[in-house]
Each structure stands twice: as structure tokens, then as C-alpha cells.
């Protein structure tokens, strides 16, 4: 039997801003970043120019690894020079503060230069996931009146040229491939544009409240929403990089998320650069062997990944790890979906380190609740609110009011006191929906949790996924976790389906580990296992084996699709379906 707490003996020398002896204050975080009262707050200046002008200037900001093992580094100084050039190029195209610049390309140097160069001149950057087809591109670019698109020639030819007439706000398309100027009509060539641009500082004065980033949510529960973030969000990114990820300036850091999603932007670009580390960029897609090789050979110190990747590594089994050592690895964290206790222990067994779960959302812009560096870990819990964050568990009262639940271990909605720096400032074009996210000074997350007597939060499920069966409120995660304890199970998705007697009956969809074949005997064994561990009221009544479960492109299980398919209902928005 594993213990319920993993004691941590982290002696990280933390500054006051990172939760040291003095009380936490956002003003102190700002001072550490060199922000002066009333001065410019610009993400690109604070992440790139600040380091370029320091002794850190020649340290690689990014080290990218391609599918063939080739490498390319970009130092802070080079990044400053290139982002100035691209920023000036944008200015020459008439792009200024508040204009929306979309990026649609793989993880290559130009992507990082484009994002940071656009931020430098006060444009609002919206990243698109590279695998998106024309419809999600059209939908997002229309909503935001995208003025510029930075992309590749092949993506442009296949996905954008056919719909360009439907994008009247789109004035400029910049192609990052090495095509030579004028190779495609009505587009600009990246290289030529940069060559022609001045290398003078391109920085435009922005304030903490100026819009910087537009992120669309993952679409797990419905149509993706566009969440708008401001330059001041960098305070959260910097503080949480220290507190929740233990990032230190000389670290080699790998965030596996694509910058098309908020994790890949906040923790693949802004947070690591704010601290001044070297980030690894993997240009290729997930491959278990390659990923372990990167961890090993690039000397990764801190690794931030997702439960879906961890599940895939777990599924691949122990032989994958034979003979591998990760002496450089110091800290591993995860985000995106609940991380069950097995996965935390799997980290201990295979990487020599527990995995630290962190909770946040596109809307929160940065990590809010985490198994922080200095805290003991309770495997299966998402941890405690970070310094500077006030969290509550609430239940709805008459009308729209909320009551704060103080009793430990009571399920309610996770709410945060509004006002942290990376809080989203709007849902694009949906002011009413934005308003509904708040009750007084509380932001309502839509996730159900319980808080134990030690102040640790335990994820129960999304408000939309919760199942009401025979008078019980059941979170799918609890049922899925128990099913995944069984050695045959690789992944589990649990839904409620209408039932005349119980209101809703629980059905589980399971994929099995390699080398395990589905059978009636296994189904019976799993039903019995679930009943034993959960009790008859909470255990699934039905189990279906599947080859794979539907996921968002960022790797989350889409329970709404499992449900729609089971009930023969329309599937709704599938733009983020993997
Ligand atoms: P949409 O809002 O479009 O339905 P989404 O909620 O999946 O999509 P994101 O903002 O990418 O979009 O994801 C945030 C959600 O992911 C959280 O609200 C929560 O439900 C889930 N999540 C993130 N981290 C964790 C975690 N550590 N434990 C449990 N759930 C998590
Ligand atoms: Mg959401």
C-alpha cells in the first residue's frame, strides 16, 4: 500500500515573490521583473529585451530539436534582434496596438519570433493549432478580425487561400517557408520582410491592462470560447514558474504543449522566458521513445507535461525505460486533466520523481492551484492555491448568489477571488457569458472540487460532466481513477446516460493496455473491481471496450462526444477533436 502523502524536502531558495518568508505581494513580483510604477509592461520586453541586455544575452532562449535529431538554438540576444525586425516589419504593414495577429505554424523558430515580435508592437496575438482545418481557422479569425496571419506556404495553400475571401479583415499573410519573395500571390515572404525591416527597437509602450493574447478554450465541453488576456498576466506567469514549476534561471525546461493552446503559450513561451531559462522545443509530434530520449539527452531539469502523455508512456510499459537515466531531471509537473494517484507514483517509479499536478484554465491564464515546490504531495489531489490566489468552494443559492462552503470534504464549485494578474478580461464577443462567470468578487470556474481539512483540493469533475445517479452526485474522475487502477486499463471515460430508475446510469468506456485483449471475463472482472472499490451506487453498470477514446487536440477526453454517440445525438462542435 502506498502512503497518502509524499513528503517533499525541497530546499529551493525562494525569493519573497516566490513565497519565501515575507508575505506574498504582486507588487514585489513586479519589482523582481523590473517593472516600474506607471512604466511600460510588455511581455516581449520583459521576456526578451530584458535578458538580451543582461549577462544572460548569449544564453539560448530556445533550443529546438527536429524529427531527425537536428538542433537549432536562438539566444536571448538573437531573439531580441529578430523580434525587433519582425515588429518593425509589422509596423511597416500598418499593424499597431490592438490589431490581431494570428499564427498558424508548427513549433519552429519563426513562430516564437512572430509571437514575441507582435507582442512587442502591442498587437494581440492569437495562436491557432497547426492541425486546424479551414473551418476552425475561419471561425476564430472572423471572431477576432484577424488582420495578419503568419503561416506556412502549405497551410496557406490548403487551408486559408480557399477561404480568404471570407476573411475581409485579413490584410496581410506572411509565409515563413523559404520560398523566395513573391512565390505566392497576395502574400509576404518572411525572409524578405525581415531583411527590409529596421533593426531599431520596435517596442511600443503598453500597460499592464492592454490586451496581449487571445486564447480559444479547448472545446472539451462545447464551442471553444475566445479568452482575452493582458500584458500584466506576465506577473502570474513569472511567479507561478517559480512557485509551481520550481524554474530557476539556469534551468533547461521542457513544456510539451503546443503554443496553439494556452499552456504552450503561457508556459512554453512567456513563463520560461520571464525567468530566463533555456526552453526545449520539440518540432515533432509525440513519440514515446523520442520523448524519453529528449528528456535524457537534452538534460531537461524541469518538465511540464499532460496526463494524456503520461498515460501514453504508462501504456507503453516498463521496457521503454530500461537502461534510461534522468540525472538532470529535478521537477515534473502536469496540467490539463486530473492526474490520478497511479500516475504520480508512476513518476516516482520510472523517473525517480513524483509528478506535481497543477490546475488552471484558459480563463485563469496561469496556474492557480498546485502541488507546489515547497508542499508535500497528496497523490490524486491537485494541490493547494498558490500564494496570491484565494480559492473557495461554493454552492449555488437562490438566484445567482453563491454560498461559501467551509466544511471540509464537501463538494462544490471551485471559485477564485477575482483580480489575479492573468485573469481573462473578456470572452470575445460574449459579454453576457463573461458576466455569468462571476458572482460578486468570485470567478466561478465551472469545475467541482472538494477541499480536505489540510486545504488540499480534489477534483471531482466538470459541472457539465457530473452524473446524478440514484440521488448521488458522481464525478466521472473518481470512477475513472478506480477503473485505471486495474492493470488491464489504459484509459477510461465515464458518462451518465438516462435511466428510468436511477435518473442516470453510469457507463464506462475503456481502452486496454497493450497485450491485453478484451473479453467478457475481463468485463465482469472490471465491473466487480469497480463495485468493490466504489460501492454499487457509484460503480458503472455498463462497460464498453474501445480502440481509442475521443480526445481534444490538447489531449483531453471528450466525454460530451462519448455521450452524444451513445445517445445518438448530434456531436456539436468538433473543431478541436483530435
Ligand atoms: P472548454 O472550456 O472549451 O470546454 P476546456 O475547459 O477543456 O474546454 P481549457 O481551458 O484548456 O479548456 O481547460 C481547463 C479545464 O481543464 C479545467 O476547467 C479543468 O476542467 C481541466 N483541468 C485542467 N487542469 C486540471 C487538473 N490538474 N485537474 C483536473 N482538471 C484539470
Ligand atoms: Mg473550460
Nearest residue CA, atom 11 of ligand 1?
Answer: 218
In whole angstroms, what is the distance from residue 499 CA to residue 478 CA? 20
- Tens digit of each residue's pLDDT (9 = 90 or more) over 366-406: 999 999 988 999 999 999 999 999 999 999 988 778 999 99
Nearest residue CA, atom 16 of ligand 1?
Answer: 336
Comparing 178 with 463, the larger pLDDT belongs to 463
Residue 425 burial by Cβ neighbours in a 10 Å radius (0-12, 13-18, 19+)? middle
Q: What percent of the chain has pLDDT over 70?
A: 97
The answer to whether residues 444 and 394 touch, using CB atoms and an 8 Å cutoff, is yes
User: Which atom number of ligand 1 is nearest to the Cα of residue 216?
Assistant: 3
Find the 143 Cα to ligand 1 centroid distance in Å: 22
Which residues fall within 8 angstroms of residue 101, CB to CB, at 6 or more apart?
Answer: 90, 95, 114, 118, 123, 124, 125, 126, 146, 147, 148, 149, 150
Find the 11 Cα to ligand 2 centroid distance in Å: 35
Find the 8 Cα to ligand 2 centroid distance in Å: 31
Nearest residue CA, atom 15 of ligand 1?
Answer: 361
Q: What percent of the chain has pLDDT over 90?
A: 81
| pLDDT of 559 over the 90 cut | yes
Find the 564 Cα to ligand 2 centroid distance in Å: 19
The answer to whether residues 52 and 84 touch, using CB atoms and an 8 Å cutoff, is no
Nearest residue CA, atom 27 of ligand 1?
Answer: 359
pLDDT of residue 259: 96
Which residues fall within 8 angstroms of residue 138, CB to CB, at 6 or more apart?
Answer: 163, 166, 167
Reduce the DSSP state of residue 131 to 3 states and report it.
Answer: coil
- Tens digit of each residue's pLDDT (9 = 90 or more) over 228-252: 999 999 999 999 999 999 999 999 9
The answer to whether residues 374 and 432 touch, using CB atoms and an 8 Å cutoff, is no
pLDDT of residue 20: 54
pLDDT of residue 536: 86
pLDDT of residue 178: 65
Query: Residue 305: nearest ligand to its CA?
Result: 1
Residue 323 burial by Cβ neighbours in a 10 Å radius (0-12, 13-18, 19+)? exposed
Q: pTM of the prediction?
A: 0.94
- Tens digit of each residue's pLDDT (9 = 90 or more) over 130-164: 989 998 899 999 999 999 999 999 999 999 999 99
In whole angstroms, what is the distance from residue 37 CA to residue 41 CA? 10
- CA dist 131 to 261, 458, 575, Å? 12, 33, 10
In whole angstroms, what is the distance from residue 441 CA to residue 521 CA? 53
* Mean pLDDT, all residues of the chain: 93
Q: Residue 429's CB: how many other CB atoms inside 10 A?
A: 11
- Tens digit of each residue's pLDDT (9 = 90 or more) over 491-523: 999 999 998 888 899 999 999 998 899 999 999
Report the pocket of ligand 1 as residue ranges, CB < 6 Å.
217-222, 224, 335-338, 357-359, 361-362, 382, 445, 447, 459, 462, 556
Find the 372 Cα to ligand 2 centroid distance in Å: 23
Q: Residue 396's CB: how many other CB atoms inside 10 A?
A: 13
In whole angstroms, what is the distance from residue 477 CA to residue 382 CA? 12
Phi then psi for 545, rounded to 5 degrees?
Answer: -90, 140
Amino acid at each position: 500500500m502506498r502512503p497518502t502523502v509524499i513528503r517533499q524536502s525541497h530546499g529551493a531558495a525562494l525569493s519573497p515573490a516566490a513565497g519565501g518568508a515575507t508575505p506574498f505581494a504582486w507588487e514585489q513580483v513586479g519589482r523582481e521583473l523590473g517593472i516600474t510604477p506607471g512604466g511600460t509592461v510588455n511581455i516581449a520586453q520583459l521576456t526578451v529585451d530584458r535578458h538580451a541586455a543582461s549577462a544572460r544575452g548569449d544564453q539560448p532562449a530556445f533550443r529546438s530539436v527536429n524529427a531527425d535529431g537536428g538542433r537549432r538554438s536562438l539566444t536571448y540576444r538573437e531573439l531580441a534582434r529578430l523580434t525587433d525586425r519582425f515588429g518593425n516589419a509589422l509596423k511597416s504593414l500598418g499593424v499597431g496596438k490592438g490589431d490581431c495577429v494570428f499564427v498558424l505554424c508548427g513549433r519552429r523558430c519563426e513562430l516564437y519570433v512572430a509571437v514575441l515580435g507582435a507582442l512587442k508592437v502591442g498587437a494581440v496575438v492569437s495562436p491557432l493549432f497547426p492541425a486546424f482545418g479551414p473551418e476552425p481557422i475561419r471561425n476564430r479569425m472572423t471572431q477576432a478580425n484577424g488582420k495578419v496571419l503568419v503561416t506556412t506556404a502549405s497551410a496557406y495553400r490548403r487551408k486559408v487561400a480557399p477561404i480568404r475571401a471570407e476573411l475581409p479583415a485579413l490584410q496581410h499573410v506572411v509565409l515563413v517557408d523559404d520560398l523566395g519573395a513573391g512565390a505566392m500571390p497576395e502574400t509576404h515572404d518572411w525572409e524578405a520582410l525581415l531583411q527590409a525591416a529596421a533593426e531599431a527597437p520596435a517596442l511600443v509602450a503598453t500597460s499592464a491592462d492592454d490586451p496581449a493574447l487571445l486564447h480559444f478554450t479547448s472545446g472539451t465541453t462545447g464551442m471553444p470560447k475566445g479568452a482575452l488576456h493582458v500584458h500584466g498576466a506576465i506577473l502570474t506567469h513569472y511567479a507561478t514558474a517559480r512557485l509551481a514549476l520550481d524554474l530557476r534561471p539556469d534551468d533547461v525546461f521542457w513544456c510539451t504543449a503546443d503554443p496553439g493552446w494556452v499552456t504552450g503559450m503561457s508556459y512554453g513561451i512567456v513563463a520560461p522566458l520571464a525567468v530566463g531559462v533555456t526552453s526545449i522545443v520539440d518540432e515533432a509530434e509525440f513519440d514515446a521513445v523520442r520523448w524519453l530520449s529528449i528528456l535524457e539527452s537534452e538534460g531537461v531539469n524541469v518538465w511540464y507535461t499532460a496526463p494524456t502523455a503520461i498515460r501514453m508512456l504508462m501504456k507503453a510499459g516498463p521496457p521503454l525505460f530500461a537502461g534510461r537515466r534522468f540525472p538532470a531531471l529535478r521537477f515534473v509537473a502536469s496540467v490539463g486533466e486530473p492526474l490520478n494517484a497511479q500516475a504520480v507514483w508512476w513518476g516516482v517509479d520510472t523517473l525517480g520523481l513524483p509528478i506535481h499536478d497543477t490546475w488552471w484554465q484558459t480563463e485563469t491564464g496561469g496556474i492557480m492551484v498546485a502541488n507546489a515546490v515547497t508542499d508535500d504531495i497528496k497523490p490524486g489531489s491537485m494541490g493547494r492555491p498558490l500564494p496570491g490566489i484565494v480559492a473557495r468552494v461554493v454552492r449555488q443559492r437562490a438566484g445567482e448568489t453563491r454560498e461559501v462552503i467551509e466544511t471540509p470534504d464537501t463538494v462544490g464549485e471551485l471559485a477564485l477571488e477575482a483580480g489575479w494578474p492573468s485573469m481573462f478580461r473578456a470572452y470575445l464577443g460574449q459579454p453576457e457569458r463573461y458576466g455569468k462567470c462571476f458572482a460578486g468578487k468570485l470567478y466561478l470556474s465551472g469545475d467541482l472540487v472538494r477541499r480536505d481539512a489540510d486545504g488540499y483540493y480534489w477534483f471531482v469533475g466538470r459541472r457539465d460532466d457530473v452524473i446524478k445517479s440514484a440521488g448521488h452526485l458522481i464525478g466521472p474522475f473518481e470512477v475513472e481513477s478506480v477503473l485505471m487502477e486495474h492493470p488491464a486499463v489504459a484509459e477510461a471515460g465515464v458518462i451518465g446516460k438516462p435511466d428510468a430508475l436511477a435518473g442516470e446510469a453510469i457507463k464506462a468506456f475503456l481502452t486496454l493496455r497493450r497485450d491485453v485483449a478484451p473479453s467478457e471475463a475481463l468485463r465482469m472482472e472490471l465491473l466487480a473491481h469497480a463495485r468493490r472499490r466504489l460501492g454499487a451506487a457509484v460503480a458503472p453498470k455498463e462497460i464498453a471496450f474501445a480502440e481509442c477514446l475521443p480526445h481534444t487536440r490538447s489531449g483531453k477526453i471528450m466525454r460530451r462526444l462519448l455521450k452524444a454517440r451513445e445517445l445518438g445525438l448530434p456531436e456539436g462542435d468538433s473543431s478541436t477533436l483530435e
